[in-house]
């Protein structure tokens, strides 16, 4: 029988657990609950700089990645050669785990760091062996995969019905829900990044930011877009009316 490690031992092996947000720490401890010692021995922790594409769609799956600290995004380059960033990840997912469960040999999505990240890497062979021998781990990874696919489908479906400033408003609403601190979201208004996430051209982004500011949905502070709790409420209400979806 495989020997299992305790949470205390896991915290010793992965010292970053003591430094990250409590919510993400608990997600890690839940994911690796009763993890076998032979899997822990394969763990490698690495620092990645901002803007690094560490998984490329179409390349062979050889490593499973967990984001310990920081934010990454999923990018699809297949739409007329345009990069469309359709998902930001903040929860603890096994990136590459979906491919293993679906028995796919190549990565299905490109992933890039949005901020500097601390990453836990596990070789594919060891991770695959773990899923095949631990039903709890397999069920938990399947649950997370299902949640991810549902959220992705919801976001893409909503975007299909939105144009211009409404599409940007949806992005800002989603960003507020994920990253607001003390009721305030502050983010850089980089036109290229906003274009990549919305699929809108940069000229349309400029017009949309101006329109949302004039209508009171957002504020500007230098190059930053700022949204307070009241403005978030306005965005949410406006989008609910457009999509006929009471959230």
Q: Which of 103-117, 135-149, 232-246 has the lowest mean pLDDT?
A: 232-246
Residue 234 main-chain phi, psi, to 5 deg: -65, -45
Determine contact, residues 83/77, Cβ cutoff 8 Å.
yes
User: CA distances (Å), 204 to each of 118, 211, 236, in order?
Assistant: 35, 10, 21
Q: Is the pLDDT of residue 216 over 60?
A: yes
What would the pLDDT profile of 160-192 be if each residue is shown by its tens digit? 677 888 989 988 988 888 778 889 999 888 888
Confidence bin at 1 (pLDDT 50/70/90): very low
Q: Do the strands 117-123 and 63-69 form a parallel or antiparallel pair, or are they unpaired? A: antiparallel
Domains and CATH numbers, the chain: 7-158 (2.60.120.10), 162-243 (1.10.10.10)
Those residues whose C-beta lies under 8 Å from the C-beta of residue 5, and which sit 6 or more positions away, are 13, 34, 35, 36, 37, 40
Arithmetic mean of pLDDT over the chain: 85
Alpha helix stretches (DSSP H) within 37-110: 37-40, 97-101
Res 228: pLDDT: 94
Please tell me the distance from the alpha carbon of residue 112 to that of residue 74, in angstroms, as a whole number.
7
Model confidence at 80, pLDDT cuts 50, 70, 90, reads very low
Greater model confidence, 217 or 164? 217
Residue 78 clears pLDDT 60, i.e. is over it: no
Q: Report whether pLDDT(195) > 90.
A: no
Nearest residue to 167 via CA among 214, 237, 235: 235
Paired with 25 in beta bridges are none
Q: Which of 50-54, 185-189, 241-245 comes out lowest in average pLDDT? A: 241-245
pTM: 0.68
Q: Which stretches within 54-163 are classed as H helix? A: 97-101, 124-133, 135-160
Dist CA 243 CA 234 (whole Å) = 14
């Amino acid at each position: 029988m495989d020997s299992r490690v305790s949470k205390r031992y896991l915290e010793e092996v992965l010292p970053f657990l003591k430094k990250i947000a409590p919510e993400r720490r608990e997600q890690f401890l839940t994911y690796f609950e009763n993890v076998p010692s032979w899997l822990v021995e394969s763990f490698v922790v690495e620092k990645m700089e901002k803007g690094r594409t560490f998984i490329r769609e179409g390349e062979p799956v050889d490593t499973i990645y967990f984001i310990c600290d920081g934010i990454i995004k999923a990018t699809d380059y297949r739409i007329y050669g345009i990069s469309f960033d359709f998902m930001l990840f903040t929860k603890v997912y096994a990136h590459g785990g979906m491919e293993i469960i679906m028995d796919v040999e190549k990565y299905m999505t490109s992933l890039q760091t949005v901020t500097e990240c601390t990453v836990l890497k596990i070789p594919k062979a060891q991770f695959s062996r773990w899923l095949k021998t631990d039903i709890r781990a397999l069920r938990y990874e399947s649950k997370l995969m299902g949640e991810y696919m549902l959220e992705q489908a919801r976001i893409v479906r909503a975007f299909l019905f939105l144009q211009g400033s409404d599409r940007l408003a949806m992005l800002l609403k989603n960003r507020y829900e994920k990253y607001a601190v003390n009721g305030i979201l502050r983010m850089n208004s980089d036109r290229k990044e906003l274009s990549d996430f919305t699929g809108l051209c940069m000229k349309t982004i400029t017009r949309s930011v101006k329109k949302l500011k004039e209508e009171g949905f957002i504020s500007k502070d230098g190059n930053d877009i700022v949204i307070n709790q009241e403005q978030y409420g306005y965005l949410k209400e406006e989008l609910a009316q457009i999509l006929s979806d009471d959230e």
